[in-house]
Amino acid sequence: MLKTNITDIFIDLDHTLWDFDTNSKSAFEKLLKKHQIPIHINTFLEIYEPVNRQYWEQYSKQQKTKTEVKFGRLTDTFKILKIDISRQIIEVMAADYLDFLKRESVLMDGAIELLDYLKNKYRLHILTNGFVEVQSDKIRFSGLDSYFEHLITSEATGKLKPHPDIFKYALQKAGTFAHQSYMIGDNFQSDVLGARNVGMHAIHFDPDETSEVDFMIIPKVKHLSEIKEIL
Q: Which pLDDT value is given to residue 2?
A: 54
* Cβ neighbours for 125, distance < 8 A, ≥ 6 positions apart: 8, 9, 10, 11, 148, 149, 150, 151, 152, 170, 173, 174
| pLDDT, tens only, 140-172 | 999 999 999 999 998 888 888 999 999 999 999
Domain 21-103: CATH superfamily, name plus number = Putative phosphatase; domain 2 (1.10.150.240)
Residue 130 has pLDDT above 90, yes or no: no
Please give the average per-residue pLDDT across 33-48, as a whole number.
96
Beta bridge partners of 153: 128
Strand boundaries in the chain, DSSP class E: 8-11, 123-128, 150-153, 181-185, 201-205, 220-221
Q: Where are the domains of the chain?
A: 8-19+107-229, 21-103
- Residue 194 and residue 167 in contact, taking contact as beta carbons nearer than 8 Å: yes
Please give the average per-residue pLDDT across 52-61, as a whole number.
88
- Average pLDDT value over all residues in the chain: 93
Instruction: Reply yes or no on domain 8-19+107-229 having CATH 3.40.50.1000.
Output: yes
